[in-house]
Structure 1
Amino acid sequence: MNKTFKVGILLVILAVPAFIFVFLHSFGKNHFDTQTYYSNGVDSVLTDCVINESGQYRISHSFFSNDSINVFLLNSDPVIHSGLTSTWESWFDAYYEMPVSFKQVLPQSLCLQNTYRIKNIKCVNSNELNELYCDLIVKKENLNQPYGVLVNEDKVIKGYFELNDNKEIDRLFAEIQILLTNYE
C-alpha cells in the first residue's frame, strides 16, 4: 500500500472520534435533577394527618426559609447521637455562605439536654412537631433514628434520608449540590 494512503486512513481514524467528541460536546449538556416528591399532589392520609391536595404539593410550615434550600433534621438530638455532633457542625459550617438552611428540630424536652450549643436548633412542643411531620409528610415509624428531609427553595420535597447511613448522607450532599447548581 501507498504510504500516503496509510497516513490518510490513520488521519480519518483519528478524526472521526475527535469530530464525534466535538459535536457532542458543543450540542449536548448534562443536566441533573433530583427526584420531586408528590408532583401530582397528595392523595394519601398519614396517621393523624389529613392532607388532600391536588397539584404539586408544597410545604407551608413557618420554619421554611423561602430564600434557600432547606434541610430538616428530625430526631437528631446531638446528646443522644453524639457521634453525629461533629458532622452536624461541619455541615452548618460548610454551607454557611451558601443558600442552604439546616434546621435541627427537637422536642422541647430534649432541648434542655443540648449541651453542644449548636445553632439552628428549633425547639418545638409536641403539637408543633406533629404539624411539622404532617407538612413534611414523614411517617412516624421512620423517626426511630436521625432522619432528614430536603426541600428546595420552591417548597417542594426533594428527598428523604436516614442519617445513620453514610450512603444516605452522601446522597443528601450530592442532592444539595445538584439543587445548588440549579438554584436561581
Structure 2
Amino acid sequence: MKKSRKAGLLIVTLVIPALIFTFLQFFADNHYDLPYYHPLVAPNGSVVDERGDTVYQQFAKLTLKQDSTRDTLSKKLIGQVTVVSYLPAECRDTCKLVLSQLERIEGLRKEIPELTILTLAEKGAEKSADDGWKVIYADRESIERCLKELRFQTVIPKSKTSGLKSKLVLLDKKGFIRGYYDGSDAPEIDRLMAEIKILDYEEKLKKRL
C-alpha cells in the first residue's frame, strides 16, 4: 500500500508539471515573445506570407562608404545579437547619455558573448572600438542611408519616442529587427537589456530541443 502511494505521488509530481508546461506552451499567451518589425510587402500591396506565417524583412549586412572615394565597408548583421546606434560628429549631452547607457548594455557580454554593439559614427566623432563594440566611421550621407534602411524613424505606438540621435535598434541573430528603444532613457535601456536576455534564452532553448 505504501509503495503504491509513493508511486502515485511520484507520478503526480512528474505528470502535473509536464501538463502545466504543455498547456502554457500551446494554449497560453507568451508575454515574453518579442515582435518582429517590417513585414515584406508584395508589388500588389499585400503582406507576403509563407505557409501562413508572415515573412519579415531581413537585414544581412550594412554597407557604408568611408570617404569620398569608392572604398566601402560592409558589416554583417547575421550570427550575433546586434544593437545599432548612431553617433553624430558633435556629441552633446543627450549623445553622451546614450553612450553611457550603451556601456551598460556592453556589460551583458560577460554572460552573452554573442552580443555586439554597432555604432555608425560620423567623421569627427570620438569613440574607440573594442571586441564587443564596433564603431564604423563613414560619411554622413552613407550613414543616413543605412539608418533609413534600418527604419530608424519608425514610431512605435504607445511607446516613448526618441530622436534619431538617441534611438537604438535591436536585431536578432538572423538579422530581423526585434525592437526600437530610446537610448537616453534608463527604463528603456532596462527593457532593452531584458529583451536581449530573452533573445539569448530563446537561442539556448532551441539548441536544447
TM-score range, shorter chain: 0.5 to 0.7
What residue ranges of structure 1 are gaps of 5+ in the alignment?
1-18, 44-52
Q: Of 67, 70, 75, which aligns to 2:82?
A: 70
Closer, same or farther in 2 for the Cα pair 1:84/1:77, shift >3 Å? farther
Tell me the distance in 2 between the aligned counterparts of 1:95 and 1:65.
17
Quick one: which amino acid aligns to residue 101 of structure 1?
Answer: T
TM-score, normalisation: structure 1: 0.67
Aligned-pair CA distance for 1:157: 0.5
Q: Of 172, 175, 178, which aligns to 2:192?
A: 172
Closer, same or farther in 2 for the Cα pair 1:121/1:42, shift >3 Å? farther
Structure 2 residue aligned with 1:6 = none
Q: How many residues align?
A: 152
Aligned-pair CA distance for 1:69: 0.6
Closer, same or farther in 2 for the Cα pair 1:173/1:72, shift >3 Å? same
Structure 1 residue aligned with 2:59 = 59
Based on CA coordinates, which of the two structures has the bigger radius of gyration? 1
Structure 2 residue aligned with 1:91 = 105
In the alignment, does 2:55 pair up with 1:41? no
Which structure carries more helix by proportion? Answer: 1
Structure 2 matches for 1:10-159, cutoff 5 A? 23=16, 25-27=17-19, 28=21, 32-38=32-38, 40-41=39-40, 54=48, 55-60=55-60, 61=62, 62-75=74-87, 79-80=91-92, 81-95=95-109, 98-109=113-124, 111=125, 114=126, 117-119=128-130, 120-139=134-153, 142-159=162-179
Tell me the distance in 2 between the aligned counterparts of 1:78 and 1:144.
14
SS in 1 for 2:178: strand
Tell me the distance in 2 between the aligned counterparts of 1:78 and 1:181.
37
Closer, same or farther in 2 for the Cα pair 1:68/1:57, shift >3 Å? same
Aligned-pair CA distance for 1:94: 2.9
> CA RMSD, aligned part only?
3.2
What residue ranges of structure 2 are gaps of 5+ in the alignment?
1-11, 49-54, 63-73, 156-161
Aligned-pair CA distance for 1:71: 0.6
Tell me the distance in 2 between the aligned counterparts of 1:178 and 1:99.
13
Quick one: which amino acid aligns to residue 156 of structure 1?
Answer: F
Closer, same or farther in 2 for the Cα pair 1:42/1:176, shift >3 Å? farther
Quick one: which amino acid aligns to residue 182 of structure 1?
Answer: E
Which structure carries more strand by proportion? Answer: 2
Structure 2 residue aligned with 1:15 = none
